[in-house]
């Protein structure tokens, strides 16, 4: 059992003094907030300098302390607020007992891990979850991941990543919701609510950490960790709104980014972390650095040495140092030497303790070992991963009704180096705890039990480079097979295709080819995959290409020559079954692209909500395009086909003009004009024709995913008001809805043509 909950009784005189010190801000607190403050102040009052700095330290589990102390020793001495990267429940429980029972003040620890898209039961990678365009589903999924984490003892997840990513070369595009701010807002909010519940302290949920603050996805050249240069106008209109949504949804922590933002490292940037994040955006939790990012302030050529890095990290607004022990080593000396006021330390400790109290961590410091097995093996969780995977799949091409495949098929060839991989199908950031997944091959075999299913790997691919920790963990780095073997594999694949009635090719990336430190200068299919695809298509057999990948790839050849293309992302535990559900028609795909799809590597970055700059796009020459390539993506943002078809009609605006700050309703009717039921994501786009600054050609401002029976129609209504119509003007330097004429379009992707218009008038 944990210790008696705090507050410990404070002498009244002290309480009065504390209340007076806290000033008017606290005077406006609700009784519940005041109770939290009181408890935090009582605790802070009892803490030594070392214990305070301990709360600002996240230890790397097993990493020796500055004086070779063990992790347990440091915890016992109160020199840790959190422990990083442990998911072994027994270790967690032991460390938490040391903190709660053996440290002087018994302050429980936070155990932080990257529970990104599932704990044991793995959901699609975040980019795939965004492709569902279904925030309610995303919220339910993260609530399940939270429950699995919580019972296991992991009470803090480093998620959601809400970085807008416009460049497919950037490996971490897989971890976010893609290129669009409005969709990013919806996904940010849904994930925070899923992880934390409606408020911190909701039972069986975990603390969220929205990341990476800020604009980490705008890395130069799409190279991970590289410098970011983003002007304020773009920061405010494009990159910050999903963070604001996560903060408004209550995210208890924010993770600061690794890179320099406009030359100042994000993890030591007082303007960013103090003025903008805390003062302006109203963030009330605490800031965790990215791993070793405080230490890196020196590497950036920003801090002069480690001591300076510690001072700059704290003054810059990082409350807790992840992993580097820079605070632990150097903050005590800085305070004792009078170089850092204790108030700067105290304010950060307050933030950390406040979150711990709000979470109910003092009352519930442990997971729930007795229920762990039941929760992790809850069939409802596994079933939910299958539904999420089905909904994340995007049908990119389906010429001549190539899909769905017939139920009565007798012989199917399943080809490709990823086809039997039950590992890759889970995607990056999968925990050791993750259960076995279903490969595409297994899914096809289960769906067509009567058929002969021939599997041929067909070749191989190599990821960008071998990672040192593969060797450390005793895993061989996956490597390209020898050329002769590859040629033999390819020949076998062609033979299998010739004997089959239908061919399912599973190509793309290995899980670790996207994600952190996995940017690429080449979006083409790796290894012999392109040659394999061309050889199999040349057999003339009907081919379905299933893509497993964490980013758009160069599939321009396939887009012309392969009749059916299914984008499955990394769909998770039930991925193979979900893919087979779609291939067979048991499930009608309805996912939509959360990114514009480039035609080649040199086409990236390409995004739909760009400005119109010079002549319009019909001009053959003087317009913003490459001389050798259209500016249009291969597939537009929001795109995805279905086994049925939809017709849009009857756009109605309930008024032709509104005052600035007013609202109007746009309604539109969508009809399923095909023979089977299906899902459609109805999308609304807006464009402002003139203003104090140029506005994008169109921007997503509404969406709803609906299911319609064959022949059914539904009228959907969207509100356009200040939230949708405002923008931050670099001229007025503020947010506002500016008067002018607006276009509005509704349809099934960002090329929507059903059009209306309205005016916003000055008040
Ligand atoms: C580094 C990554 O950038 C961040 O996203 C992650 O949460 C931390 N490592 C902790 O694993």
* Ligand 1 centre distance from Cα of residue 537 (Å): 41
Which atom of ligand 1 is found nearest the CA of 258? 3
For residue 178, what are the CA distances in angstroms to 167, 172, 185, 546?
9, 10, 11, 20
Which atom of ligand 1 is found nearest the CA of 209? 7
Q: Which of 211, 225, 295, 517 to mutate to test the pocket of ligand 1 (most atoms within 8 A of CB)?
A: 211
The candidate with the shortest Cα–Cα distance to 112, out of 159, 157, 71, is: 157
Q: Out of 84-88, 139-143, 479-483, give the one with best mean pLDDT.
A: 139-143
Show Cβ contacts of residue 705 under 8 Å, excluding neighbours closer than 6 positions.
Answer: 132, 133, 134, 590, 679, 680, 681, 682
For range 675-686, the mean pLDDT: 98
Per-residue model confidence (pLDDT) at position 70: 95
**Closest residue to atom 2 of ligand 1, CA basis:** 290
pLDDT band at 28 (very low <50, low <70, confident <90, very high): confident
For residue 340, what are the CA distances in angstroms to 45, 102, 105, 310, 333?
19, 30, 24, 10, 9
For range 20-34, the mean pLDDT: 70
* Ligand 1 centre distance from Cα of residue 287 (Å): 14
Q: In terms of pLDDT, which residue wins out, 57 or 431?
A: 57
Per-residue model confidence (pLDDT) at position 614: 74
Handedness of CA 747, 749, 753, 757 (dihedral sign): positive
743: pLDDT strictly greater than 80: yes
Q: Which of 173, 207, 255 to mutate to test the pocket of ligand 1 (most atoms within 8 A of CB)?
A: 255
Show Cβ contacts of residue 366 under 8 Å, excluding neighbours closer than 6 positions.
Answer: 93, 96, 153
* Ligand 1 centre distance from Cα of residue 20 (Å): 40
What is the greatest pairwise CA distance in the chain? 88
Which atom of ligand 1 is found nearest the CA of 323? 10
* Ligand 1 centre distance from Cα of residue 59 (Å): 14
Q: In terms of pLDDT, which residue wins out, 467 or 104?
A: 104
**Closest residue to atom 4 of ligand 1, CA basis:** 290
**Closest residue to atom 10 of ligand 1, CA basis:** 291
Per-residue model confidence (pLDDT) at position 61: 82
pLDDT tens digit string along 436-485?
A: 999 999 999 999 999 999 999 999 987 555 555 555 566 555 567 888 99
Q: Out of 3-7, 210-214, 611-615, give the one with best mean pLDDT.
A: 210-214
Q: Which residues line ligand 1 (CB under 6 A)?
A: 114, 158, 211, 290-291, 516
Evaluate whether 300 touches 308 at the Cβ level (below 8 Å): no
Per-residue model confidence (pLDDT) at position 18: 46
Q: Which of 158, 224, 267, 324 to mutate to test the pocket of ligand 1 (most atoms within 8 A of CB)?
A: 158
73: pLDDT strictly greater than 50: yes
**Closest residue to atom 3 of ligand 1, CA basis:** 290
Per-residue model confidence (pLDDT) at position 631: 87
Per-residue model confidence (pLDDT) at position 639: 98
234: pLDDT strictly greater than 80: yes
362: pLDDT strictly greater than 80: yes
Per-residue model confidence (pLDDT) at position 711: 98
Residues of 117-134 as b/e, b for ≥16 C-beta within 10 angstroms?
bbbbbbbbbbbbbbbbbb
pLDDT band at 111 (very low <50, low <70, confident <90, very high): very high
For range 349-362, the mean pLDDT: 98
Which atom of ligand 1 is found nearest the CA of 113? 11
d(CA 69, CA 62): 10
Q: Is 290 a catalytic residue?
A: yes
Cβ-based burial of 561 (10 A; exposed 0-12, middle 13-18, buried ≥19): middle
What would the two tokens of residue 225 be? 């960790």
- Ranges of beta strands (E only) in 334-401 are 394-398
Per-residue model confidence (pLDDT) at position 616: 64
Evaluate whether 50 touches 78 at the Cβ level (below 8 Å): yes
* Ligand 1 centre distance from Cα of residue 108 (Å): 22
d(CA 559, CA 557): 5
Please give the angle made by the CA atoms of 253, 702 and 200, to the nearest 5 degrees: 20
Q: In terms of pLDDT, which residue wins out, 10 or 387?
A: 387
19: pLDDT strictly greater than 50: no
- Check 134, 167, 180, 290 and give the catalytic one: 290
Q: Beta 699-708 vs 678-688: how paired, if at all?
A: antiparallel
332: pLDDT strictly greater than 70: yes
* Ligand 1 centre distance from Cα of residue 429 (Å): 10
17-21, 210-214, 225-229, 444-448: least confident range: 17-21
93: pLDDT strictly greater than 80: yes
Per-residue model confidence (pLDDT) at position 463: 59
Q: Beta 264-265 vs 260-261: how paired, if at all?
A: antiparallel
* Ligand 1 centre distance from Cα of residue 369 (Å): 26
Please give the angle made by the CA atoms of 256, 257 and 261, to the nearest 5 degrees: 115
26-40, 217-231, 297-311, 535-549: least confident range: 26-40
What would the two tokens of residue 284 be? 């009330």
Q: Above pLDDT 70, what percent of the chain?
A: 93
148-157, 178-187, 474-483: least confident range: 474-483
* Ligand 1 centre distance from Cα of residue 207 (Å): 15
Which atom of ligand 1 is found nearest the CA of 158? 7
For range 698-713, the mean pLDDT: 98
Which atom of ligand 1 is found nearest the CA of 211? 5
Count CB atoms within 10 A of the CB of residue 174: 30
* Ligand 1 centre distance from Cα of residue 290 (Å): 6
147-151, 467-471, 751-755: least confident range: 467-471
pLDDT band at 431 (very low <50, low <70, confident <90, very high): confident
d(CA 225, CA 229): 12
Show Cβ contacts of residue 373 under 8 Å, excluding neighbours closer than 6 positions.
Answer: none
16: pLDDT strictly greater than 60: no
Per-residue model confidence (pLDDT) at position 380: 98
For range 130-159, the mean pLDDT: 98
Q: At 713, which helix (H) or strand (E)?
A: strand 713-720
> What backbone phi and psi angles, to 5 degrees, belong to 501?
-85, -30
Which atom of ligand 1 is found nearest the CA of 175? 5
Per-residue model confidence (pLDDT) at position 482: 84
Evaluate whether 540 touches 503 at the Cβ level (below 8 Å): no
Average pLDDT over the chain reads 94
Cβ-based burial of 93 (10 A; exposed 0-12, middle 13-18, buried ≥19): middle
> What backbone phi and psi angles, to 5 degrees, belong to 236?
-75, -40
**Closest residue to atom 9 of ligand 1, CA basis:** 291
114: pLDDT strictly greater than 80: yes
Return the axis-axis angle of helices 529-537 and 483-499, rounded to nearest 10°: 30
* Ligand 1 centre distance from Cα of residue 328 (Å): 20
**Closest residue to atom 11 of ligand 1, CA basis:** 114
Handedness of CA 198, 200, 203, 204 (dihedral sign): positive
**Closest residue to atom 7 of ligand 1, CA basis:** 158
For range 14-25, the mean pLDDT: 46
d(CA 240, CA 622): 33
For range 217-233, the mean pLDDT: 97
Q: Which of 266, 291, 292 to mutate to test the pocket of ligand 1 (most atoms within 8 A of CB)?
A: 291
Evaluate whether 499 touches 539 at the Cβ level (below 8 Å): no
Which atom of ligand 1 is found nearest the CA of 161? 5
* Ligand 1 centre distance from Cα of residue 252 (Å): 17
Q: Which of 82, 173, 516 to mutate to test the pocket of ligand 1 (most atoms within 8 A of CB)?
A: 516
For range 547-566, the mean pLDDT: 98
d(CA 545, CA 495): 17
For range 244-255, the mean pLDDT: 98
């Amino acid at each position: 059992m944990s210790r008696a909950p705090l507050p410990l009784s404070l002498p009244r005189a002290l309480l009065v003094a504390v209340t007076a010190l806290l000033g008017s801000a606290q005077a406006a607190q609700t009784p519940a907030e005041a109770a939290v403050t009181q408890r935090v102040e009582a605790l802070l009052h009892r803490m030594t300098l070392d214990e305070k700095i301990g709360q600002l330290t996240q230890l790397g589990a097993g990493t020796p302390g500055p004086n070779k102390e063990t992790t347990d020793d440091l915890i016992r001495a109160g020199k840790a607020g959190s422990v990083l990267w442990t998911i072994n429940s027994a270790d967690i429980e032991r460390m938490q007992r040391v903190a709660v029972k053996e440290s002087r003040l018994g302050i429980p620890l936070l155990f932080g891990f990257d529970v990104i898209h599932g704990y044991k039961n793995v959901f699609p990678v975040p980019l795939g979850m965004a492709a569902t365009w279904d925030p309610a589903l995303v919220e339910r999924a993260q609530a399940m991941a939270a429950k699995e984490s919580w019972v296991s003892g992991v009470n803090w997840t480093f998620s959601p990543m809400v970085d807008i990513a416009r460049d497919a070369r950037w490996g971490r595009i897989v971890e976010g919701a893609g290129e669009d701010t409005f969709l990013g807002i919806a996904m940010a909010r849904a994930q925070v609510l899923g992880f934390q519940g409606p408020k911190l302290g909701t039972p069986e949920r975990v603390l969220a950490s929205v990341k990476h603050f800020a604009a980490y996805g705008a890395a130069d050249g799409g190279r991970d960790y590289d410098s970011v240069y983003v002007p304020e106008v773009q920061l405010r209109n494009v990159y910050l709104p999903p963070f604001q949504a996560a903060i408004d949804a209550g995210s208890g922590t924010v993770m600061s980014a690794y890179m320099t933002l406009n030359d100042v490292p994000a993890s030591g940037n007082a303007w960013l972390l103090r003025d903008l994040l805390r003062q302006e955006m109203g963030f009330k939790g605490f800031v965790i650095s990215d791993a070793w990012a405080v230490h890196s302030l020196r590497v950036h050529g920003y801090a002069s040495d480690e001591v300076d890095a510690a001072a700059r990290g704290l003054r810059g607004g990082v409350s807790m140092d992840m992993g580097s022990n820079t605070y632990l080593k150097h903050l005590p000396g800085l305070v004792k030497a009078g170089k850092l006021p204790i108030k700067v330390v105290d304010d950060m400790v307050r933030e950390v303790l406040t979150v711990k109290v709000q979470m109910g961590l003092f009352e519930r410091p442990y997971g729930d070992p007795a229920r762990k097995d039941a929760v992790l093996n809850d069939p409802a969780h596994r079933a939910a991963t299958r539904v999420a995977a089905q909904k994340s799949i995007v049908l990119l091409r389906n010429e001549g009704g190539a899909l769905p495949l017939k139920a009565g098929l007798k012989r199917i060839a399943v080809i490709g180096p990823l086809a039997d991989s039950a590992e890759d199908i889970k995607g990056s950031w999968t925990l050791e705890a993750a259960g076995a997944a279903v490969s595409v091959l297994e899914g096809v075999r289960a769906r067509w039990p009567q058929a002969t299913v021939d599997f041929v790997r067909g070749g191989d691919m190599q990821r960008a480079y071998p990672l040192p920790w593969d060797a450390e963990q005793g895993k061989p780095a996956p490597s390209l097979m020898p050329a002769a073997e590859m040629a033999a594999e390819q020949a076998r694949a062609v033979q299998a295709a010739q004997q089959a009635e239908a061919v399912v090719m599973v190509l793309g990336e290995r899980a670790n080819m996207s994600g952190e430190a996995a940017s690429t200068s080449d979006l083409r299919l790796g290894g012999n995959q392109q040659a394999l695809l061309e050889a199999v298509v040349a057999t003339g057999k009907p081919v379905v290409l299933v893509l497993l990948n964490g980013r758009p790839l160069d599939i321009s050849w396939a887009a012309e020559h392969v009749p059916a293309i299914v984008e499955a992302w990394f769909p998770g535990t039930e991925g193979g079954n979900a893919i087979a559900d779609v291939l067979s028609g048991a499930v009608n795909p309805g996912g939509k692209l959360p990114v514009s799809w480039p035609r080649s590597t040199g086409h990236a970055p390409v995004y739909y909500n760009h400005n119109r700059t010079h002549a319009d796009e019909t001009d053959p020459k003087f317009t913003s395009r490459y001389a050798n390539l259209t500016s249009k993506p291969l597939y537009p943002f929001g795109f995805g086909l279905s086994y049925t078809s939809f017709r849009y009609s009857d756009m109605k605006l309930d008024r032709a003009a509104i005052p600035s700050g007013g609202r109007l309703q746009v309604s539109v009717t969508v009809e399923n004009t095909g023979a089977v039921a299906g899902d459609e994501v109805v999308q609304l786009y807006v464009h402002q024709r003139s203003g104090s600054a140029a506005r994008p050609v169109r921007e997503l401002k509404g969406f709803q995913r609906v299911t319609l029976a064959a022949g059914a129609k539904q009228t959907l209504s969207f509100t356009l008001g200040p939230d949708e119509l405002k923008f931050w003007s670099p001229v007025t330097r503020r947010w506002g809805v500016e008067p002018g004429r607006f276009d509005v379009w509704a349809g099934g992707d960002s090329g929507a043509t059903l059009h209306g218009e309205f005016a916003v008038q000055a008040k």
